[in-house]
Amino acid sequence: MRGVVMHAPGDVRVETRENPRIMLPTDAIIRLSATCVCGSDLWPYRGVEAVKGPSPMGHEYVGIVQEVGSEVKNVKPGQFVIGSFFASDNTCPICRAGYQSSCIHREPVGGLGAQAEYLRVPLADGTLVATPDIPSDDLIPSFLAASDVLGTGWFGAVAAEVGPGKTVAVVGDGAVGLLAVLAAKQLGAERIISMSRHEPRQKLAAHYGATHIVTERGDDGVARIKDLTDGLGAHSVIEAVGTQESMMQAIRATRAGGHVGYVGVAHDVELPGEELFFSHVHLHGGPAPVRRFLPELIDLIGTRQIDPGKVFDLTLPLDQAAEGYRAMDERRAIKTLLNP
């Protein structure tokens, strides 16, 4: 089969890889209907994370089940399924508490390489959720978004305790930030402030429910949020970048007693203890337990109540994955969908 392999920063190739096989009785093999490039794939692409030799890429996937191991009971060949970036058993105490991305048996799917024609999914019973029917083609991008960016933005909103009557600010205008706006709207936020300085992204934020756009960053961005909230800061702030600046912007834009939901993968972030102590701000976040939200998100997408697939503004055949990475790296695309 064909699959994406990263050899070094900036060096992404589509190569012939061995077809995945059932290795354990709890595995499933799926034929991918669509896959995509993640903002987090750009960290190694830009050399911020080390690339340790040729690495299969990709952790976002939807597709048709081809084959299941002898112990798999919840999904069967022919079904359209969605999974996320950590395989999980969905039965251990941590999963049952809703934190499937910290499952005691979790396995990262990224190492298996979902930017490919076929994928082996470990712990298939716990990881995969089937749609009621085979979806029409126009819904596939939205289901693919549920695999990571929608589920991650949704967790950011839940972690930030978004709810009716609240003012929400979103730091970051990548796919996760934009879908955090969608989640905040669905969860009943009264005002949603998107922090973005890129016009196409501002437009999509408005489409998803942003009521205000703030273009300033850092201290100036915090000052604008305070201006909009009687000097108090937002009730809920979703951090969807992962840098020192974005994290401090999120914490300082939150009012005392408010909540930050941080879902940008942290890179070299150090928090000042004394400032945190006196801020009275709640912090919660981490790798999103997307599996917790999948049944609800699948229903909202299948009934066309939400359209998260709009974040894919570039669609390419899998063979042009290198251009898909480049377009995202240069911010010419928000998110690239790859058709195997």
Contact status: 89 vs Zn ion (CB under 5 A): yes
Q: Least distance in Å: CB of 101 to Zn ion?
A: 10
Q: What span, in angstroms and rounded, lies between the C-alpha atoms of 245 and 226?
A: 17
Considering only residues 95, 182, 192, 214, which one is a binding residue for Zn ion as defined by CB under 5 A?
95
Contact status: 103 vs Zn ion (CB under 5 A): yes
Stretch that binds Zn ion, among 102-110, 113-121, 144-152, 171-179 (CB under 5 A): 102-110
Contact status: 102 vs Zn ion (CB under 5 A): no
Considering only residues 1, 8, 92, 232, which one is a binding residue for Zn ion as defined by CB under 5 A?
92
Task: Give the nearer residue to Zn ion in terms of CB position, either 92 or 223.
Answer: 92
> 16: how many CB neighbours lie within 10 A of its CB?
9
Task: Give the nearer residue to Zn ion in terms of CB position, either 88 or 202.
Answer: 88
Task: Give the nearer residue to Zn ion in terms of CB position, either 92 or 206.
Answer: 92
Look-up of token digits 């690239």: 336
Task: Give the nearer residue to Zn ion in terms of CB position, either 89 or 239.
Answer: 89
Task: Give the nearer residue to Zn ion in terms of CB position, either 103 or 314.
Answer: 103
Q: What span, in angstroms and rounded, lies between the C-alpha atoms of 77 and 65?
A: 5
Residues that bind Zn ion (rule: CB under 5 A) add up to a total of 5
Residue 28 corresponds to which tokens in the numbers above? 């499933």
Contact status: 87 vs Zn ion (CB under 5 A): no
Q: Least distance in Å: CB of 106 to Zn ion?
A: 7
Residue 237 corresponds to which tokens in the numbers above? 């702030």
Q: Least distance in Å: CB of 94 to Zn ion?
A: 5
Per the CB < 8 A criterion, the answer to whether 314 and 327 are in contact is yes
Q: Least distance in Å: CB of 294 to Zn ion?
A: 15
Stretch that binds Zn ion, among 81-89, 230-238, 317-325, 326-334 (CB under 5 A): 81-89
User: In the chain, count of helices (H) and strands (E)?
Assistant: 12, 18
DSSP tag of 161: T
Task: Give the nearer residue to Zn ion in terms of CB position, either 124 or 195.
Answer: 124
Stretch that binds Zn ion, among 88-96, 146-154, 263-271, 325-333 (CB under 5 A): 88-96
Sheet containing 167-171: give its strands across.
212-214, 191-195, 167-171, 234-239, 254-262, 282-285
Stretch that binds Zn ion, among 86-94, 117-125, 127-135, 321-329 (CB under 5 A): 86-94
Give the closest residue to 83 by CA, choosing from 21, 125, 133.
Answer: 125
Burial of residue 233, with CB atoms counted within 10 A of its CB: 0-12 exposed, 13-18 middle, 19 or more buried: buried
Give the closest residue to 126 by CA, choosing from 166, 81, 162, 164.
Answer: 81
Q: Least distance in Å: CB of 150 to Zn ion?
A: 22
**Neighbouring residues of 301: CB distance < 8 A, sequence distance ≥ 6:** 139, 142, 143, 146, 307, 308
Enumerate binding residues for Zn ion (CB under 5 A): 88-89, 92, 95, 103
